[in-house]
Chains A and B, each alone.
Chain A
Amino acid sequence: MPSAVYLDNNATTAVAPEVLEAMMPYLKDLYGNPSSIHTFGGQVMADVEAAREHLAALLGARPGEIIFTSCGTESDSSAIHSAARCLADRRHVVTTRVEHPAVRNVCRVLHDDLGYRLTEVGVDSQGRLDMDEYRDAVDDDTALVSVMWANNETGVVFPVEECAAIAKARGAIFHTDAVQVVGKLPVNLADSRIDMLSLSGHKLHAPKGVGALYVRRGTPFVPFVRGGHQESNRRGGTEAVPNLVALGRAAQLADQRIGDENTRVKALRDRLEKGLLATCPDARVNGGQTDRLPNTSNVSFEFVEGEAILLLLDQQGICASSGSACTTGSLEPSHVLRAMGVPFTAAHGSIRFSLSVYTTDQDIDRTLKAMPEIITRLREISPFGRGKPKTGAAKRSTK
């Protein structure tokens, strides 16, 4: 079989060879603890700090505003808990209906277990945030607003700067989950009202197991992981030195490659999308009419089920993902697509292709060749396919 076509970069990315090279010494010879007094350990502290500077540079932030964490989820949890603790007299949280579970479920814990009011702002059929609803939601009791910068499933980009300004006007802390944005879109926190921002290493060609939380200077913060004095007393635990160095190197690379991401990669994505719509009838792009990440395409193929599509793609060495029920681990399709009002018929057959700077022309060619055959094949098995009544089978339900 020819090498895999990897179009699942919103799930995770390949570790860049340069990144692997940069982190290797710290897995071998340079194993010291940065907190040690002896030179052998202490010398790696300088490398950790250099990594922090590289990451800060990518974000337009000060190094002191970066807290290294173990992953994006830890960053999100830290931000949400900190805001709730620091503005303890406020009892309201605002987020969106399409957040990643790392934010959504933590906000729901505040609501369910701690009695916070929770507003989850909706989106329209293109996945755009309902700004009127958002404006009405934020009030003087709002402790925290957490709005993702870009959606992991559709790639739809939210106007976080505008959201941040509205939140700040009410005295709330504004957090954004930017896990899908960092490395794909330019970020400049120096000119921003954003208080906290989460990112994850493995989405930008660093390994799994490292993330970061940006906390704007002056923003009140209490640690989530308590312990030692590491990260300026803001996150306990011995630094995962190889991972932090890797994230720093990945940030440098992202800075160099962001142009490629927004030109060549975007053109590949557009070609893939156009080709799929041209060759597969009854297909639609979810969120296709609005501002999106350059690498993401979420396409629904009606009358077929996503897991079956993924497995047939997998047969040909093509990796993608789906918002179908069978692949979400529940029996209901993606909450993001449902929030957009994508009909269930289309949500079950949704496929997300997400590219990276390593995606090639040949990858797109192979995918465009494989997909029409797969869709035709599954529609031939389906009782609902083209030319057949669209609402065929009897409901297993109420009489």
Chain B
Amino acid sequence: MWDYSDRVKDHFLHPRNVGEIEHPDAEAEVGNITCGDALKLMLKLDDQERIVDAKFQTFGCASAIASSSALTEMIKGMTLEEASKLTNDDIADFLEGLPEAKMHCSVMGMEALQKAIADYRGETFELEDSGRIVCRCFGVTDKLIEKVIRDHNLRTVEEVTHYSKAGGGCRGCHEDIQAILDRISGTQTPVAAAPSAKTRSPLSNLKKISRIQEVIEREIRPALRSDGGDIELVDVDRDTVYVALRGNCSNCRVSQFTLKGVVEQKLREQVADTITVEQVT
């Protein structure tokens, strides 16, 4: 459990710069409570764009708290230009290293800093606001995944998870991450396109149910779960699919919309275009 360096322990047990800045010049929030870690960073700048104060609030494990504390210590006194060059490795090095599986904590620190700088400059925050969501469990974009792969010369999906959290939930995006890895390393493997519903031969009942289950697991549950909800396949009667919504979804007014709009569409696309979805409790 205490697989942490003395520096990490120190910054966890005695975090520096905890709190908020009144009227900050730049601020950013990354992560969220359902993901298990979140960081709110606030900066005060002088007229030379030098960071004169930095404060943070963090929800997360010991290494998330320590990474946030380290980040604020490191950037105080830097100009924004200098700070914009800070990498997550700098944070990890400052902490005398982080366990491999916790590297994403340092990435979260770097993300918060870059987002705060983008916020101050009125720019879009590339890693978050553009690009395509690959990991829906943790809302990670292809941009961020590409960045961690390039920055750290990553080779496996597991390593990508350690650095970005992507793929650490339902695992539904592992193929997608692998494709990005392959593209970057230049050993692109052709990804077999899913056959369209129209060209597919009629399915046996068993096959259909397992395919419906698969689509729900892979495509639908991760998105709902990231909002604290969940969906369960209750029954399949010919072309009628009965599902139940759980967690936050069960009292959600837009859930009917969610059901018809998303679940039905996905299942029609990928299983059979005659499917209808009904909600049961």
A325 at interface, CB cutoff 8 A: yes
Contacts of A122 in B (CB 8 A): 232
Out of B34, B36, B58, which one reaches A383, CB within 8 Å?
B58
Out of A314, A326, A341, A396, which one reaches B230, CB within 8 Å?
A341
- At the interface with chain B, which of A165-173, A176-184, A267-275, A302-310? A302-310
Q: A314-B1, A341-B230, A383-B40 are in contact. Are A396 and B62 (CB under 8 A)?
A: no
Contacts of A381 in B (CB 8 A): 15, 18, 57-59, 65
B79 at interface, CB cutoff 8 A: no
B:107-140 near A, CB below 8 Å: 111, 128-129, 133, 137-140
Question: Per-residue CB proximity of A52-81 to B under 8 Å, as 1/0?
Answer: 000000000000000000000000000000
B32 at interface, CB cutoff 8 A: yes
A352 at interface, CB cutoff 8 A: no
Question: Per-residue CB proximity of A339-365 to B under 8 Å, as 1/0?
Answer: 001011100100000000000000000
Q: Which residue of B lies closest to A349 (CB)?
A: B59
Contacts of A38 in B (CB 8 A): none
Q: By the criterion CB–CB under 8 Å, are A305 and B34 in contact?
A: no
B:206-248 near A, CB below 8 Å: 206, 225-226, 228, 230, 232, 246-248
How near does chain A come to B165, taking the closest CB pair, in angstroms? 5
B:46-61 near A, CB below 8 Å: 57-61
B97 at interface, CB cutoff 8 A: no
Q: By the criterion CB–CB under 8 Å, are A324 and B32 in contact?
A: no
Q: By the criterion CB–CB under 8 Å, are A305 and B30 in contact?
A: no
Q: By the criterion CB–CB under 8 Å, are B36 and A305 in contact?
A: yes
Q: Which residue of B lies closest to A324 (CB)?
A: B36
Q: By the criterion CB–CB under 8 Å, are B168 and A310 in contact?
A: no
Contacts of A326 in B (CB 8 A): 36, 60-61
Q: Count A interface residues, CB 8 Å.
A: 40
B29 at interface, CB cutoff 8 A: yes
A1 at interface, CB cutoff 8 A: no
Q: By the criterion CB–CB under 8 Å, are A307 and B33 in contact?
A: no
Q: By the criterion CB–CB under 8 Å, are A310 and B1 in contact?
A: yes
A:307-350 near B, CB below 8 Å: 307-308, 310-312, 314-315, 324-326, 330-333, 338, 341, 343-345, 348
B77 at interface, CB cutoff 8 A: no
Q: By the criterion CB–CB under 8 Å, are B247 and A341 in contact?
A: yes
Q: By the criterion CB–CB under 8 Å, are B37 and A305 in contact?
A: yes
Chain B residues in the interface with A (C-beta under 8 A): 1-2, 12-13, 15, 18, 29-40, 57-62, 64-65, 111, 128-129, 133, 137-140, 161, 165, 168-169, 206, 225-226, 228, 230, 232, 246-248
- Of the A-B pairs whose beta carbons lie under 8 Å apart in the complex, a sample of 15, sorted by A's number, is A305-B36, A305-B61, A308-B65, A311-B1, A312-B13, A324-B36, A333-B36, A338-B225, A341-B230, A341-B247, A345-B34, A348-B36, A381-B18, A384-B33, A396-B111
Chain A residues in the interface with B (C-beta under 8 A): 117, 122, 303-308, 310-312, 314-315, 324-326, 330-333, 338, 341, 343-345, 348, 380-384, 391-399
Give me 15 other A-B pairs in contact (C-beta within 8 A), A307-B61, A395-B32, A397-B133 excluded: A303-B33, A304-B59, A312-B13, A324-B36, A326-B36, A331-B169, A332-B137, A332-B169, A341-B247, A348-B36, A381-B15, A393-B30, A393-B33, A396-B138, A399-B129
